[in-house]
Structure 1
Amino acid sequence: MQRNNIINAAIPDRPFLNDSDDARNTPAEPYRDLLIDAGAEVKVHDPHVLQYPDVEISQDLDAVLDGVDAVVIFAGHRQYYSLEPKVLQELSGQAHPVIVDGRNVVEPDAFIDAGFVYKGIGRGDKNGHEIF
């Protein structure tokens, strides 16, 4: 599957530390900036960080995931370990949403079996889909 344009992307989390409100040195910031520069509409969720300079952060994960084409996970917050493929797929409204798991918090096979384009850090190419 070839995706040339990501219209909406959700970045659930700011801090690199799990279950923390310390967002200093977050790897999410440059990635978010790259997505915006590429024309994506980016939504940010974090259950612990209430504000961050120049970033609108939501604590409502369902609202952030509503209508997204892609989800990128940068922190291992407990809340993200319970993400369910079918629920995420329904919220996104996409048959084959992209999930980039930068913290290995989701079970790849469950998301691949549900139709996701899955990319994980340190897990190799689990399903052979190209994102771009």
Structure 2
Amino acid sequence: MAEELLGNCDCGFTGSAILGGVRTNYLTELPVPHRCLACKAFVTVNVWGELVCPECSSTQVESYATATKQLPNDWLTRLQYGKLKDSELFEKGFHRNSRVLAEDGTVTILDRWHTCPRCEKRTFRLSLGDHYD
């Protein structure tokens, strides 16, 4: 399931980006929010493809994601279908304080202040928007 992330900063900058794939592309694409250092945009980049800004084609993009431990393979399907309990995650050393947002369990967007694409201060906050299937 893909999630829209809404970003806003004290400087007035706002934007949205997508995290995670939908049914039609989750095996071939992994969209992750990035900031483009060249055009100062908040963009979605497919990290399984070429790492370029979709706005200006620059390769100067920086991810808002943090790599996490890989979930065991037999858990991936259960995670996709919402059949994985928090207690099971905790037993294996995973937690939902930093939400696992990608279906393959390898991408986390931490709940913290991020660097704003425009003003470059750590006053950019991400929140959840719509969900896509």
Common topology (TM > 0.5)? no
Larger radius of gyration: 2
Structure with higher strand content: 2
TM-score by length of 1: 0.29
